[in-house]
Chains A and B, each alone.
Chain A
Amino acid sequence: MTYSAASAGLTAIEFVQVSKTFGERERRHRVLNEVSWAIPKGKTTVIAGGSGQGKSVTLKLILGLLRPDSGQILVDGQDVGKMGAGQLRQLRTKFGVLFQGAALFDSLSVFENIALPLRERTKLKEPEIRAKIMATLETLELAGHEEKFPAQLSGGMKKRVGLARALQLEPEIVLFDEPTTGLDPLMTLEIYALFQRMQQQLGYTAVIVSHDIPKVFELADQIVLINKGEADVFAEASQIIHSDKPHIREFAEKTMGL
C-alpha cells in the first residue's frame, strides 16, 4: 500500500494524478483528468462546479464506491483504489456521509435510523444507545420526533436526521453531498449554522459538495472548483475571480453575482 509523506500529517485526503472516465467509445466522457489536490485535516473543504462535472464522483471515489482509472486517492496515506472489500469496510468507519436525499431507511423510524450504525458497529447496550440518541436529538432540535418515519418529516428535518446518523460513530471525516438541496433559504442558513456548530464540537474534517454558491463558500477553509476535468484549489472565494483561467472567471461571474 502506498504511503504519501504529505498525507501523514495535516492532510486527511489526497488526490494524486487521478483520472476517471465514464461511457464507452464515442460517448466517453473524462470527468477527472489527472487531478491532484488535498483536503486538510479538521478543516472544511467545499467542492463546487457545474452539473455533471464530477463533484459527486469525487465523493464516491473517496469512499471507494467508484475506482479511479488511474492515479491514487489517499485517505490517511492509504490508497483507496487498491483496497479490497474488507479494507474498504474498515476505511469507511472513519467516514460519516450525509446524502443529497438524506438516504434515510424509509421503513425505520427516526430513532431506529440513528440507532442503526450504533447497533451494527458498536457493542453498546440498548439503554446506552437510547441515551446517546436522545442527547443527539436534543442537540439537533429533533426531540419528540424519534417515533416518526422519514415520510412524515420535512426536508430540513430529514437532513438533520441524516446528519445525526452520520455523526453517531464520531467520524474523522464527514462528507456532505448537496446538503441544502430542496431547502428554503432560512432552513439553508440553519443547516449551515448547525454544520459549523457540530464541527466545532467534534473537530471532524468536512467535505461539502454544493451548488449553493456563494453562500456555502462562507463555511469553507478551502474551495475546490471542478470544471472540464480539472480541479482548481482556492483558499477563499475572493481568489476565484482573480483566476488566470477564463472559464473559472466566467463560472465566478455567473454563480457569484460578480
Chain B
Amino acid sequence: MGLFLLSAVAGLFRRPFRGRELLRQLRFIGAGSSSVIFFTALSSGMVLGLQGYYTLKKFGAEGMLGSGVALTLVMELGPILTALMVAGRVGSAICAEIGIMRISEQIDALECMAVDPFRYLISPKLLAAILSVPLLTAMFDVVGIYGGYLAGVKLMGANSGSYFSSMTLSITNHEIWIGIIKSFVFALLVVWISAGRGYFVHRIRGAGFGAESVSKVTTQAVVLSSIAVLIFDYLLTAVLL
C-alpha cells in the first residue's frame, strides 16, 4: 500500500497531465460534497451553540461561547466531520469505481495500452481531494460558527459582541494551521485507502468475486478510512498541540 501511494503521488508529476479529469473530480469531490458538508456543519454548530451555552452558563462564562465553538470547530470537528462525510460519500464512490474497473479488466486494458493506471486513474482523484477537503473544512468551520451563533446568540440569548470578540481573541494562526494540516492528511488517507481497496479488490482475501467483492471492499474502504481518520486525528492532535 505504501508503494501504491508513492505511485499515485509520482503520477501527479508525469505527463500528459489530466486537467479535464482533475476538474471533473474537483466538481465531484468538492462542489458535490458542499451541500452535505453545509448541513452537517450547520447542525453541528447549532448543537455546539446549545451545549456550549448550557455548560458555560453553569460557570457564568457564557461570554466564552464563541471561543469554545470556534476552537472546537477549527481544530477538531471541522476537519474530522468533513473527512468522515467525504469518506462516506467520495471514498465509497472511488472504491466502487476502481473496483469495477479492476474486475471488468479495464485496468488491465490500461496497462496493456502502456498507460500508467496510477497517473490516469488515481492521481487526479488524489489531487482533487487534497485541494477540495481543506476548502470543504474551511466551509464547515464558517457554517458551523454561524450555526453556533444562531443557536447560542439568537435562540439562547448569549451576547452577540462577546460571541465574536472571544473568538478573535482565542483563534490564532496556530489553530488554523492545525485544522488545515489535519484536513490535508485526512484527504490523503481517504483516497489512499479507498482507491487502494478498489485497485487490489482481486487480491483481497475473503472478499469473494465479482460484484460481491466490490460491495465488500467498498464497505471496508469506508470503515477503514473512517477508523484511520479517527486514529490520525488523535496522533496529529498530540503532535501539533
Which of chain B's residues 88-142 have a Cβ closer than 8 Å to chain A?
A: 100-101, 104-106, 108-109, 111-116, 120
Extra inter-chain contacts (5) besides given A117-B115, A121-B115, A165-B113, CB under 8 Å: A89-B114, A95-B112, A97-B112, A101-B104, A119-B16
How many residue pairs bridge A and B at CB < 8 Å?
50
Q: Is the CB of A103 within 8 A of B111?
A: no
Query: B residues engaging A (CB < 8 A)?
Result: 16, 100-101, 104-106, 108-109, 111-116, 120
Are A106 and B106 touching (Cβ within 8 A)? yes
Known: A65-B108, A101-B105, A103-B108. A117 touches B113 (CB 8 A): yes
Q: List 30 A-B contacts (CB under 8 A).
A: A63-B112, A65-B111, A89-B114, A89-B116, A90-B114, A92-B113, A92-B114, A93-B114, A96-B112, A97-B109, A97-B112, A99-B105, A99-B109, A100-B105, A101-B104, A103-B104, A103-B106, A103-B108, A103-B109, A104-B106, A106-B100, A106-B104, A116-B115, A117-B115, A119-B16, A120-B16, A120-B120, A121-B113, A121-B114, A169-B113
Shortest CB–CB separation between residue B110 and chain A, in angstroms? 8
Docked complex Cα distance between A63 and B105 (Å): 14
A116 to B120, CA, bound (A): 11
Contacts of A90 in B (CB 8 A): 114
Q: Give A101 to B108 CA distance when docked, in angstroms.
A: 12
| A120 in contact with B115 (CB, 8 Å) | yes
Q: Which bracket fits the contact residues of A?
A: 20 to 34
**Which of B16, B105, B120 gathers most chain A CB within 10 Å?**
B105
Q: Which residue of B lies closest to A168 (CB)?
A: B113
A interface residue numbers (CB < 8 A to B): 63, 65, 89-90, 92-93, 95-97, 99-101, 103-106, 116-117, 119-121, 165, 169
- Bound CA span A117–B109, Å: 10
Which residues from chain B contact A103 at a C-beta distance below 8 Å?
Answer: 104-106, 108-109
Top 9 A-B pairs, shortest CB-CB distance: A103-B105, A103-B109, A97-B112, A92-B114, A117-B113, A89-B114, A120-B115, A93-B114, A99-B105
